[in-house]
């Protein structure tokens, strides 16, 4: 039986970050009930408001990654603004920032400054390359760290240039690691061990996600190259064009899955072909196997192939675009899309909370708010500032 309580209720987060990695990390926390106070510049706002596609001048992705938050404005370049940050930090559990190394310390809002009044404070620093080492002060956007971490090098075809993913892989993967790190630090704090700083370079989570490449190089000297959609350890694996112009993906990671793929495609004779009798032999003869699969698949429509795969429990499925996801029955059954009423755009649909909890599920209560939407509530309600003081700070450009 589910309850109305969310698992992170009572956790308060001050989000000083901008653009993608930091705001998405706090989105994950807000999705489960954390009270996230999102700080923007009074005039410029978060750059994500102007990034990517817009509708009627409203940035669409901002609405997603800043959902469930309370937006306020503070000019961090103003000493009075930094005073407000120090006051807010005394009232929160976590602070998240993604400025260049040394910036918050120079402003007098580094960890030591904030923890002086709140020793249980947890502060997350998200930078391109971490806060130590020769690259500590270098700028680092997601595309750069994807290249630096080695992810771009293995992506693409062997006779072409390395490819950077067409979405924010470096930032969004770091966001997950950052949210996880917050929960580890909160647990540690709640055991009576106080607050601490978290130092995460955007590339570090992605480097971890490279899987066996590091130990393979260390022990065998093997550098993984680009294989397109293939895999140097598994065959068959890849994407295949169908008769009706769609694509399907295949992954035969085990002997049993390979056999089911062959039966689904009516290629039973491949099961007795010595070239394909083991995974190692299939990898060695991968081009020949892929050609046989390609010739079989191109003669069928995508939906027919998917039906055959499900009949035979074969690991073959559709290559969906985003429009396909909007009409897919599995996506509908899992509730992976949620519709929310937005005051600027009207009804909007976006990805729902990704993880299902049996008793305390997360949810999306509102989209990313308009700039300064919660100024009065936070400065008045949380900090106890009077209306005249709030107006004075607004007139002075502090908020």
3-state secondary structure of 258: helix
The reported pLDDT for the residue numbered 3 is 65
Q: Please tell me the distance from the alpha carbon of residue 383 to that of residue 399, in angstroms, as a whole number.
A: 14
Q: Residue 389 and residue 393: Cα distance in Å, rounded?
A: 6
CA-based end-to-end distance of the chain: 43
Match domain 12-209+333-396 to its CATH number in 3.40.50.300, 3.30.470.20, 3.40.50.10540, 3.30.450.40: 3.40.50.10540
Report the alpha-carbon distance of residue 274 to residue 293 in Å, rounded: 16
Alpha-carbon distance of 324 to 337, in angstroms, equals: 12
Q: Which of 233, 266, 267, 225 is nearest to 251 (CA)?
A: 233
Coil, strand, or helix at residue 184? helix
Query: Which are the catalytic amino acids?
Result: 171
pLDDT for the residue numbered 85: 98
Q: Please, are residues 205 and 130 in contact by the beta-carbon 8 Å criterion?
A: no
Percent helix, percent strand, percent coil in the chain, to nearest 5: 40, 15, 45
| H or E element, residue 58 | strand 58-59
- The per-residue DSSP string of 213-237 comes to HHHHHHHH-------TT-BTTBSSE
**What does the pLDDT read at residue 229?**
80
Tens-place pLDDT, residues 298-317: 999 999 999 999 999 999 99
Cβ contacts of residue 52 below 8 Å, gap of 6+?
59, 60, 61
Instruction: Report yes or no: 363 and 372 within 8 Å, Cβ to Cβ.
Output: no
Q: 383 near 88, Cβ under 8 Å?
A: yes
What local confidence, expressed as pLDDT, does residue 389 receive? 97
Residue ranges of the domains in the chain? 12-209+333-396, 237-319
Q: How far apart are CA 363 and CA 342, in angstroms?
A: 15
What is the topology classification, in CATH, of domain 237-319? Answer: formyl-coa transferase, domain 3 (3.30.1540)
Mark residue 197 as left, alpha or beta (left: phi above 0; alpha: psi -120 to 50; beta: remaining): beta
| H helical segments located in the chain | 21-30, 60-65, 79-89, 103-106, 111-115, 142-149, 169-188, 202-208, 213-220, 255-264, 279-284, 286-297, 302-312, 322-327, 329-334, 375, 387-395
pTM of the model: 0.94
DSSP 8-state secondary structure symbol assigned to residue 244: T
Q: Supply the pLDDT for residue 47.
A: 95
pLDDT, one tens digit for every residue, the chain (399 residues): 566 789 999 999 999 999 999 999 999 999 999 999 999 999 999 999 999 999 999 999 999 999 999 999 999 999 999 999 999 999 999 999 999 999 999 999 999 999 999 999 999 999 999 999 999 999 988 899 999 999 999 999 999 999 999 999 999 999 999 999 999 999 999 999 999 999 999 999 999 999 999 999 999 999 999 988 877 889 999 999 999 999 999 999 899 999 999 999 999 999 999 999 999 999 999 999 999 999 999 999 999 999 999 999 999 999 999 999 999 999 999 999 999 999 999 999 999 999 999 999 999 999 999 999 999 999 999 999 999 999 999 999 999
The secondary element (H helix, E strand) that includes residue 71 is: strand 70-73
């Amino acid at each position: 039986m589910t309850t109305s309580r969310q698992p992170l209720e009572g956790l308060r987060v001050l989000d000083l970050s901008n653009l993608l990695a930091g705001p998405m990390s706090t989105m994950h926390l807000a999705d489960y009930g954390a009270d996230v106070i999102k700080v923007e510049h009074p005039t410029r706002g978060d750059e994500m408001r102007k990034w990517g596609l817009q509708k009627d001048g409203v940035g669409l992705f901002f609405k997603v990654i800043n959902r469930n938050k309370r937006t306020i404005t503070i000019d961090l370049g103003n000493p009075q603004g930094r005073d407000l940050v120090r006051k807010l930090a005394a009232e929160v559990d976590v602070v998240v920032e993604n400025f260049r190394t040394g910036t918050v310390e120079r402003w007098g809002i580094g960890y030591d400054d904030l923890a002086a009044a709140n020793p249980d404070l947890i502060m997350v620093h998200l930078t391109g390359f971490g806060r130590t080492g020769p690259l500590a002060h270098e700028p680092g956007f997601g595309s750069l760290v994807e290249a630096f971490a080695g992810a771009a090098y293995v992506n693409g075809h062997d006779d072409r240039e390395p490819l950077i993913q067409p979405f924010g892989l470096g930032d969004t993967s770091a966001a997950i690691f950052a949210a996880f790190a917050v929960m580890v630090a909160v647990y540690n704090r709640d055991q009576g061990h106080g607050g601490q700083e978290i130092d995460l370079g955007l590339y570090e989570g992605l480097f971890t996600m490279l899987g066996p490449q590091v130990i393979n190089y260390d022990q065998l000297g093997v550098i993984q190259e680009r294989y397109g959609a293939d895999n140097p350890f598994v065959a068959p694996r890849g994407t295949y064009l169908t008769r009706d112009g769609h694509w399907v993906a295949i992954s035969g990671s085990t002997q049993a899955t390979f056999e089911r793929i062959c039966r689904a495609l009516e290629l039973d004779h491949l099961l007795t072909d010595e070239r394909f009798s083991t995974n190692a032999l299939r990898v060695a003869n991968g081009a020949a196997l892929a050609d046989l699969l390609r010739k079989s698949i191109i003669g069928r429509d995508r939906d027919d192939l998917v039906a055959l795969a499900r009949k035979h429990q074969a690991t073959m499925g559709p290559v969906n675009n985003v429009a396909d996801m909007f009409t897919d029955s599995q996506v509908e059954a899992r509730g992976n899309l949620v519709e929310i009423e937005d005051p600027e755009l009207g009804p909007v649909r976006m990805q729902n909370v990704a993880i299902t909890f049996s008793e305390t599920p997360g949810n999306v209560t509102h989209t990313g708010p308009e700039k300064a939407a919660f100024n009065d509530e936070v400065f008045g309600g949380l900090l106890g500032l009077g209306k005249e003081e709030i107006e004075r700070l607004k007139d002075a450009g502090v908020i």
